[in-house]
Amino acid sequence: MAPLWGPPSPTLLARVAAGQVGGVILLGHGWASPARTADALARLQAVACRRGEPLLVGVDQEGGTVRRFRWAAPSASAAGMVDASAEGAATARALRSVGVGIDFAPVADVVATPASFLGTRSFGGDPAFVSSRVAAFVTGLQHAGVAATAKHFPGLGSATVSTDDRRVMIGRSAAFLTARLAPFRAAIAAGVQVVMVSSASYPAFDPSGTPALFSRPIVTGLLRGTLGFDGVVVTDAIDAPAPAATPHAAARAIAAGVDLLLYTTTRASERGYVGLLQDAATSATLRAQLATAGARLRVLRAWLAARGGPHCP
């Protein structure tokens, strides 16, 4: 997934035409006009469909401070959502109206410190309460045809700074962290289509200290094995400080069990694509893992198309 900050550039359109981009994430504040947003996405999808497969289009439309579309629901902070299911449905209607199929929400992190960087993005500090709100938002969003994303697995509720800005290590015990997996369990039980894995490290779950998005014990062992999630796993920004400093980052994420690589800068997405091609050329194991990831992404595209989402004639 490459970043989209406004109308698509000729370079991005060329990359889509060449099959180098499987999706886009809408970033920044250039989306004040629903009509211009819909036009930009329609132009991208027209190019993608010449290759026979629509792009996956996602946006961070959460409750609280992170809302790319100021004209769309949800308007309340996550903690202030009285009816999270209704908020999810309203959000989905707005996103579908402009051609967005994936909401990178809800935030399933349980706040564990007053200094949490999440602020109004989180539903709160009680695992049971957060679980109920997460499940309701997922249900409302997906019943209205937009794929929900539970994030940031296995939890950033203890972090005081954002992983987008700094390296983060969560030093809590396995028992503490496991108790706060409840909202992710609730999202999976509600049928969530996507889970976003964080770039923080969790020594209690993986003693190597590798960022979660590169950790096979966390992605394949904990999320897919213990929690039983078989949908699409997307990275948090793979060009954030911790993963960006890791050689062969794209290949390592795929090897951990990730399906979708999320980039927030154009240059990083270009380098990531080239590096992944080079690594796949020399590794039959990586090629097999890419095939598995591709199959999951096709299931997600079919899920979206069956609900009126992007599809190619």
| Summary mean pLDDT of the chain | 96
How large is the greatest C-alpha to C-alpha distance in the chain, in angstroms?
A: 52
Q: Over the stretch 33-70, which tens digit does the pLDDT of each residue have?
A: 999 999 999 999 999 999 999 999 999 999 888 999 99
Q: What is the mean pLDDT of residues 166-172?
A: 96
Could you tell me the end-to-end alpha-carbon distance of the chain, in angstroms, rounded to an integer? 22
In a domain, 11, yes or no: no
3-state secondary structure of 71: coil
Look at residue 182 in the predicted model and tell me its pLDDT. 98
In a domain, 103, yes or no: yes
In a domain, 34, yes or no: no
Q: Which residue range forms the structural domain that includes residue 151?
A: 55-305
CA distances from 42 to 24, 35, 69, 299 (A): 12, 10, 17, 22
Look at residue 111 in the predicted model and tell me its pLDDT. 96
In a domain, 202, yes or no: yes
This prediction has a pTM of 0.97
Count of Cβ atoms closer than 10 Å to residue 246 Cβ: 16
Q: What percent of the chain has pLDDT over 70?
A: 100
Q: How confident is the model at residue 177 (pLDDT cuts 50, 70, 90)?
A: very high
Rounded Cα distance between 163 and 240, Å, is 7
Q: Over the stretch 5-21, which tens digit does the pLDDT of each residue have?
A: 999 999 999 999 999 99
In a domain, 311, yes or no: no
In a domain, 227, yes or no: yes
Q: Over the stretch 71-116, which tens digit does the pLDDT of each residue have?
A: 999 977 887 788 999 999 999 999 999 999 999 999 999 999 999 9
User: What are the tokens at 292?
Assistant: 């598995």
Look at residue 135 in the predicted model and tell me its pLDDT. 98
Look at residue 58 in the predicted model and tell me its pLDDT. 98
What is the number of structural domains in the chain? 1
The answer on pLDDT for 278 being more than 80 is yes
In a domain, 28, yes or no: no
Look at residue 223 in the predicted model and tell me its pLDDT. 98
In a domain, 257, yes or no: yes
Look at residue 79 in the predicted model and tell me its pLDDT. 77
Q: Over the stretch 193-237, which tens digit does the pLDDT of each residue have?
A: 999 999 999 999 999 999 999 999 999 999 999 999 999 999 999
**For residue 92, what is the domain's CATH number?**
3.20.20.300
